[in-house]
Structure 1
């Protein structure tokens, strides 16, 4: 079992780091980077095998085109360096370079194939010296994922791809879907035929993850594909409308403490996930609990 880290933003808030819109988690990189390194180090010490760079908000959507053009590469380099320092508190911990949805979370409708490559190239170039693998994360469509594949070609590093799922109230009444409306089964078939080294699902409620893992495992088995499957869910109420995920901090669910999140992790592992961590609202205490819990299961 591989343990991922958790969400960056709430941990920055917990430590008292600057955090406000529109800069989101990128603001700490610009104003108080030591907080970012501290969060990484705490996740590594808690048992995370993978530390993810704080590059999710280094996009024009959050910091603006002018600032991205002026210092996007510098910020990406800083994000990579801080992640590497934080990971090094626990020998053997790897660093994943976060490649986010360039045009906003949960917004496949805003995807622009004519502009995405230029933005991703800046992130890849800045992060490359510090990372062990790439993580395209919170992607809402196969088109977004294909752009990430093109961006990292030639880097020689493994590529993990993570899709976010539709998780509104009636989501469990339908086959699991990406936020674009594309079926998870189709995304899994695409992954099985592509140069993806792991397929994950993130930034959605825990309830929708298990069906997605089971569908993916079935598709992979039918295709003779041994690609690992992963999950890192969020802890907030589902977004009503695409914009809310980008505009404000969402309200946290009160039923997703470390113990209950660990219960979900057990279910994902039983369904076939071998990579488990946390996304928005899942903190150091959650990851520590998951790491200990799944280590005990493996020992049994």
Structure 2
């Protein structure tokens, strides 16, 4: 098995665990604004753990989290700060092999394809792209709930030249339905693969969903990629949110973290994804440096 590319883990929950300023609605943007040194420390911890890619702390730089007025006034400046800090940590740690991924978030709220407005999406995306552009090695549009969200990103970055990774969040399911992986919009995994190939994306990933739904998504994505004869890396970085049918929406509360996903048990899931054909693995909310270290040691 080819050695996978290892991503970092979640930023927001790691900031909270470290004692950095953290709350809703600002989420991880609060530390970027008030305690940037804490953001740098989290980046450094993931590099030390063995991550080959760190992701800019730009996920919460959208009006839902920081407000319309602050977004209009500071979005580009804050995105630039997020990119500069990630790049500075790579330089300071001497980790020249580590790449910086520019996080492009869902623009109208996580897990909410129903709120997506195509006529306003480009306006919100533009300052993030402008602010990050001078600092990143690749683009990571993440926690996408629908192919329409991905298409806006791909259109804006057409001709940029840097790799584009598209990462979709999946509908969480109970054990009986875990093999029925689909996007939160209800679209099929195969629809996401088709869009990624059409847009020339370098990688298709699944993130910010529970580990239980990921393997089926990888299997289906690999099969559709191969059927289409395309070249597309497949990746996974799951979250550690609880498996509750009536869990609160991602944008409204700070969810608890599962106690059954310690590094060794998370690693068991990662091994399944790798056997299914994933070539990129890491973690999302609640998956920390100790999880990434376990993955890196296992893949060494």
Q: Which residue number corresponds to residue 139 of structure 2? A: 134
Distance 1:14 1:62, change over 3 A: same
Matched pairs, number: 295
Distance 1:22 1:225, change over 3 A: same
Q: Does residue 291 of the first structure (1) align with residue 293 of the second (2)? A: no
CA contact 1:164–1:204 (8 Å) conserved in 2: yes
Q: 1:276 aligns with which of 269, 272, 281?
A: 281
Q: CA deviation at 1:247?
A: 1.1
TM-score normalised by L of structure 2: 0.95
CA distance in 2 between partners of 1:259 and 1:137 (Å): 25
Q: Which residue number corresponds to residue 147 of structure 1? A: 152
CA contact 1:252–1:281 (8 Å) conserved in 2: yes
Q: Which residue number corresponds to residue 25 of structure 2? A: 22
Q: Does residue 54 of the first structure (1) align with residue 57 of the second (2)? A: yes
CA contact 2:179–2:213 (8 Å) conserved in 1: no
Distance 1:171 1:180, change over 3 A: farther
Q: Which residue number corresponds to residue 98 of structure 1? A: 103
CA contact 2:102–2:136 (8 Å) conserved in 1: yes
Distance 1:242 1:143, change over 3 A: farther
Q: CA deviation at 1:215?
A: 0.3
Q: Does residue 67 of the first structure (1) align with residue 70 of the second (2)? A: yes
CA contact 1:84–1:95 (8 Å) conserved in 2: yes
1:207-266 Cα shifts (integer Å, max 9, x gaps): 100000000111011111121100000011146568621111112111100000111110
Q: CA deviation at 1:185?
A: 1.7
CA contact 2:7–2:51 (8 Å) conserved in 1: yes
Q: Which residue number corresponds to residue 161 of structure 1? A: 166
Q: Does residue 3 of the first structure (1) align with residue 6 of the second (2)? A: yes
Q: Tell which deviates more after alignment, 172-181 or 50-59.
A: 172-181
CA distance in 1 between partners of 2:32 and 2:25 (Å): 14
1:33-56 Cα shifts (integer Å, max 9, x gaps): 000011001101110000000000
CA contact 1:49–1:93 (8 Å) conserved in 2: yes
Distance 1:239 1:151, change over 3 A: farther
Distance 1:73 1:243, change over 3 A: farther
Gaps of 5+ in 1: 296-300
Q: CA deviation at 1:173?
A: 5.5
CA distance in 2 between partners of 1:13 and 1:247 (Å): 16
CA distance in 2 between partners of 1:236 and 1:273 (Å): 22
Gaps of 5+ in 2: none
Q: Tell which deviates more after alignment, 227-236 or 238-247.
A: 238-247
Q: CA deviation at 1:194?
A: 2.4
CA distance in 1 between partners of 2:108 and 2:133 (Å): 22
CA distance in 1 between partners of 2:63 and 2:226 (Å): 40
Distance 1:243 1:110, change over 3 A: farther
Q: Which residue number corresponds to residue 44 of structure 1? A: 47
SS of residue paired to 1:91: coil
SS of residue paired to 2:294: helix
CA contact 2:103–2:142 (8 Å) conserved in 1: yes
Q: Which residue number corresponds to residue 85 of structure 2? A: 82
CA distance in 2 between partners of 1:188 and 1:62 (Å): 29
CA distance in 2 between partners of 1:61 and 1:241 (Å): 22
CA contact 1:171–1:208 (8 Å) conserved in 2: no
Q: Which residue number corresponds to residue 118 of structure 1? A: 123
CA distance in 1 between partners of 2:277 and 2:81 (Å): 35
Q: Does residue 220 of the first structure (1) align with residue 225 of the second (2)? A: yes
